[in-house]
Amino acid sequence: MTATATTGCGCGCSAGSPPVRSSGAGLTRPVFFSGQLLTEDDMTSLTGYITAKARLHNRMLFGAGVVCGFDVVCDPCGRGSVLVRPGYGLDCCGHDVVVEAETRLDVAALLRDLRHRSLGVDCGDPCTTPGADPDDRDYGLYVRYLEERVEPVAAYPAGDVCAGGDCQPSRIRETYGFLLKSIDDHAHGVGPGAPLARFLGKRRDFSEIWALAYRLDQYAATLARVGAEPDKAVTFEEADSELLLMAWTDVQAKLPAEGETLPGEAAQEVAELVRRLAAYVARYDAAKAKVAEVDAVLDSVRQGLVTAVDHLWPLLTDNWWPYPVQLSTAQAALAELVERCGPEAKPDPEKPETWKLERRMLVFGLPLSPAFRARLYADLRQIRDWLHIRLEKIADRGDCALPADVGKPLPEPGGVTGPAEAPRLVQLAGAAARIVGCLRRLVADCAGRSLLPPCPDCPDSDVLLARITLRDCAVLRICTVARPQVHLAGSWSPDRARAWELARRVCRWPAGPTDPLAIEYVERLLLEPDTSSDHDQLLELLWPPEDD
């Protein structure tokens, strides 16, 4: 092997392959070496680099606001003055604003200065005419970072006496000024809810899609199980007999006496009890069981289901079922259980079972009438259409495969006027699991992206200290909590830490659908949705409903 000679390459380059650099201009610091001729540009470059670096850290790591102090209180000696205590703040450019001594401010002078700046002319003292401004007016008291060039010296070799404009300031003093302005009510710092709304649209529209997905998720695993095993025998154990009788006792205890009506507040609870009772009746019928204790009350149970539905039906309104998805599910469930488990629905052993799959779904507490089956197909398409629209509007994504997965064809509903067919239930279950999974993937991607803090802008570098209410130039109230406060921990908080933890969880590839064999009964179908999932908790932390 022969050695390769290397040579220097002169000023402005380096030996070897240069690293890949971005095209942007970054901060530049001077480099000193022996024999270098130093000029004022080199010294200024050094101080400029250090100052710019410190302000960059202030701006990006802490933000704008008051760090400590800067209490604003009434002046005990004057109705038109306030006292500003010493304090330390940062403006949105990263400047340090330090007030080391208590300062008395003449609010009338500040108000005159404000009107001068606004009108462009000096209209005199606004407080010379008592009663001219009797209404309460709110203003913001701000502090502004200022610089003064001080300590002029003569340039070498001009001598010791400053003359003829040869003297130049040798120092920059960092100082401040106070001013009144119209109060700025915009949020200081943008929470994650704003970018999340930009990704997912209006909260109320998203909530409707999320509720449809919740219902599909409740159905998916059971549809897969019933469709995959349409002929599997249903069992009815001794424990099921006890549970059926207990459910019947619970329903009887909740039903009102003859001539009375069911209170609306109890509608959801009673509906859930009735649905559970119907599930045991459907299991008893599907298993073709013969249990003496059950047979003795079964006719009464069937009639009791009808009676309970008669009490519940007038309560199926928006007043007692605030969620549209929940209301439509309750209507379908109550109508289905009367048709499949009421007095007119006794199985006839002499005839083939026509609605076998529908009865099997009721074993798990889920209605599957033709009309409701059509609704599930419609839910699929509504969620898929919403996903298409959102994906068209979201330019930046981290889930690169999501558009292709959303775009896969959905199963055709086929005949939705007659009994269900097992293969179509399996197809519906698979599509429901896929579309709900795509929705969760989009939420996970958008939620994680919304947690990335944006770089702050700086349209106005004045730091708000207090909201001051004036009446006829007299100070009435001083509110300091209106100002932005810089916390030493930055924007981090326990809620934000929790949001990051949840975002890490939901950012993983979604788990497969629930094991159908593990399901015996679908809980909370007619109650308010269970919001304990990681996705729900993350949405609540980042995007509460009142933020929309």
Establish if 221 belongs to a structural domain: yes
| Residue-range definition of the domain harbouring residue 231 | 193-450+493-547
Establish if 26 belongs to a structural domain: no
Question: How many angstroms separate the CA atoms of 419 and 415, rounded?
Answer: 8
Q: Is the pLDDT of residue 188 over 50?
A: no
Of residues 456, 460, 530, 523, the one with CA closest to residue 491: 456
Dihedral sign for Cα atoms in the order 27, 31, 37, 43: positive
Same domain flag for 129 and 200: no
Same domain flag for 85 and 156: yes
Establish if 92 belongs to a structural domain: yes
Establish if 293 belongs to a structural domain: yes
Residue holding tokens 């979604």? 510
Q: What's the rounded mean pLDDT across residues 372-384?
A: 95
Q: Is the pLDDT of residue 187 over 60?
A: no
Same domain flag for 385 and 517: yes
Share the mean pLDDT of the chain.
83
Establish if 163 belongs to a structural domain: yes
Confidence at residue 546, expressed as pLDDT on a 0 to 100 scale: 57
Highest mean pLDDT among 146-160, 184-198, 371-385: 371-385
Establish whether the linkage from the previous residue to 169 is cis, with ω within 30° of 0: no
Q: What's the rounded mean pLDDT across residues 530-543?
A: 86
pTM over 0.85: no
Confidence at residue 372, expressed as pLDDT on a 0 to 100 scale: 94
Question: How many angstroms separate the CA atoms of 222 and 217, rounded?
Answer: 9
Same domain flag for 436 and 531: yes
User: Which range among 129-133, 392-396, 404-408, 500-504 shows the weakest confidence by mean pLDDT?
Assistant: 129-133
In this predicted model, what pLDDT tens digit does every residue of 5-29 receive, in sequence order?
A: 444 444 444 444 455 554 556 788 8
In this predicted model, what pLDDT tens digit does every residue of 435-451 receive, in sequence order?
A: 999 999 999 998 888 88
Q: Is the pLDDT of residue 37 over 80?
A: yes
Same domain flag for 374 and 501: yes
* Tokens, residue 119: 């009108």
Same domain flag for 168 and 214: no
* Tokens, residue 332: 């379908």
Same domain flag for 462 and 331: no
Same domain flag for 187 and 200: no
Same domain flag for 215 and 172: no
Same domain flag for 270 and 293: yes
In this predicted model, what pLDDT tens digit does every residue of 222-266 receive, in sequence order?
A: 999 999 999 888 999 999 999 999 999 999 999 988 888 899 889
Establish if 414 belongs to a structural domain: yes
Question: H-helix or E-strand containing 145?
Answer: strand 136-154
Establish if 277 belongs to a structural domain: yes
Q: What percent of the chain has a predicted confidence (pLDDT) above 70?
A: 83
Q: Which residue has the higher pLDDT, 167 or 307?
A: 307
Domain count of the chain? 2
Same domain flag for 183 and 316: no
Same domain flag for 208 and 164: no
- pLDDT class for 213, splitting at 50, 70, 90? very high
Establish if 217 belongs to a structural domain: yes
